[in-house]
């Protein structure tokens, strides 16, 4: 299927979740469907299987709606229409406004940029891995910096002073918006609200690298989410645990990457340079936050780097588990009262 939002599909995570399903409670209704460039799994607890199935259907419809708005790689999405003419001020879809506002609220605008479509494309992740020519990257990054929001709901890219045909609409370096770093979180939030509106008592929704939960499982057991080792595919190195609503996201240099001459090129770019952010193998954020916030933060704190990420976690009381470039683990658990903890997995 299309790699719609160009996000790694951490299929292992869904598997880990299913394995942790508890034994002494009514079985949830569980469905997995392709969406958001990966496989999304929803498991819902409550009474009445038919009602749970109907709620899950509605939740997947909501995910599809967000995808139709934000998937820059689908030619029929709202954001693709915006990107087709980036130098003309236009209304942005509500979903894009929600992401841009949240980036500002979280204070991570230097590390999280929704305008990196052209720089990301230059690497050709998946299809044709390429190390971009430095000049191309410089130009694409300069054009990306031209994104403006003249009003709260409109957006436009400013033209660079020196014209270049490659920056023209449809050209290889034409600027564009890419919500791949946040769309999963937003889509899962919206799907969770749909489940809640349908009266679902408890649910877990996962798109691999982002997971959100709703309520408390019958019996009160905590949600348990495995965090993958960035260098041992499928190995769970840590487990996050909480009861009630919460969210968790992981960003990793292994999710979309290729190697040339011993150098790893991965899909999380430093907006300042357009080069893959250095210093981190993977970073997980979890807390009593929205899926959107966790998705934005895992990407942004990956770029911010180890000490900056830990400082942010302490200030904002979120939990962070990171593996730095040398493979060393550092972590911080948010305020004790938040009840969201990430601990090393027990080795078998
Ligand atoms: P995630 O897996 O959530 O960390 O998101 C990574 C995806 O977000 C990439 O595949 C790009 O599409 C996009 N992206 C890359 N770097 C950034 C960045 N610094 N800020 C926002 N989005 C980014
Ligand atoms: Mg993200």
CB 117 within 8 Å of CB 175? yes
Q: Could you tell me the CA-to-CA distances from 205 to 10, 18, 162 in Å, in that order?
A: 14, 12, 47
- Give bridge partners of residue 102 from the DSSP assignment: none
pLDDT at position 348 is 55
Query: What are the per-10-residue average pLDDT scores of the chain (348 residues)?
Result: 36 43 71 97 95 98 98 97 98 98 98 98 93 97 98 98 95 97 98 98 97 96 97 96 98 95 96 98 98 98 98 96 98 88 86
Work out which ligand 1 atom sits closest to the CA atom of 114. 21
pLDDT at position 24 is 55
Cα separation, 17 vs 201, in Å, equals: 18
Q: Say if ligand 1 is within 6 A of residue 178 CB.
A: yes
Cα separation, 196 vs 284, in Å, equals: 26
pLDDT at position 18 is 45
Q: Say if ligand 1 is within 6 A of residue 7 CB.
A: yes
Q: Say if ligand 1 is within 6 A of residue 303 CB.
A: yes
Cα separation, 131 vs 257, in Å, equals: 11
Give the residue among 7, 35, 31 at the shortest CA–CA distance from 187: 35
How remote is the CA of residue 182 from the centroid of ligand 2, in Å? 5
How remote is the CA of residue 165 from the centroid of ligand 2, in Å? 32
Cα separation, 143 vs 206, in Å, equals: 34
Q: Which residues, 6 or more positions from 239, have their beta carbon under 8 angstroms from its beta carbon?
A: 224, 225, 226, 227, 342, 343, 345
Q: Say if ligand 1 is within 6 A of residue 6 CB.
A: yes
SS3 call for 168: coil
């Amino acid at each position: 299927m299309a790699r719609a939002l160009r996000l790694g599909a951490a299929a292992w995570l869904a598997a880990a979740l299913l394995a942790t399903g508890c034994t002494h409670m009514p079985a949830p209704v569980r469905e997995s469907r392709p969406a958001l460039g990966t496989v999304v799994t929803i498991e819902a607890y409550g009474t009445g299987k038919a009602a749970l199935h109907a709620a899950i259907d509605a939740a997947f419809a909501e995910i599809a709606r967000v995808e139709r708005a934000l998937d820059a790689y689908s030619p029929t999405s709202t954001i693709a229409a915006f990107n087709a003419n980036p130098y003309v001020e236009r209304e942005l879809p509500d979903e894009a406004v929600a992401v841009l506002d949240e980036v500002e609220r979280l204070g991570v605008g230097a590390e999280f940029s929704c305008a990196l479509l052209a720089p990301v494309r230059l690497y050709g992740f998946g299809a044709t891995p390429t190390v971009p020519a430095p000049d191309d990257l410089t130009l694409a990054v300069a054009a990306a910096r031209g994104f403006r929001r003249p009003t709260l709901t409109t957006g436009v890219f400013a033209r660079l002073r020196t014209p270049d045909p490659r920056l023209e609409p449809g050209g290889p370096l034409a600027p564009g918006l890419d919500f791949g770093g946040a769309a999963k979180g937003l889509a899962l939030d919206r799907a969770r609200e749909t489940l809640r509106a349908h009266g679902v008592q408890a649910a877990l929704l996962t798109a691999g690298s982002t997971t959100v939960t709703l309520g408390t499982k019958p019996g009160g057991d905590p949600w348990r989410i495995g965090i993958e080792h960035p260098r041992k595919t499928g190995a769970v190195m840590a487990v996050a645990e909480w009861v009630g609503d919460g969210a968790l996201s992981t960003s990793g240099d292994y999710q979309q990457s290729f190697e040339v001459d011993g150098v790893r090129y991965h899909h999380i770019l430093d907006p300042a340079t357009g080069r893959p952010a250095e210093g981190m193998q993977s970073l997980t954020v979890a807390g009593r936050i929205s899926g959107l916030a966790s998705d934005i933060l895992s990407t942004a704190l990956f770029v911010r780097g180890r000490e900056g990420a830990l400082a942010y976690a302490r200030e904002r009381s979120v939990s962070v588990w990171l593996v730095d470039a040398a493979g060393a683990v550092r972590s911080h658990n948010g305020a004790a009262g938040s009840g969201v903890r990430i601990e090393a997995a027990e080795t078998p």
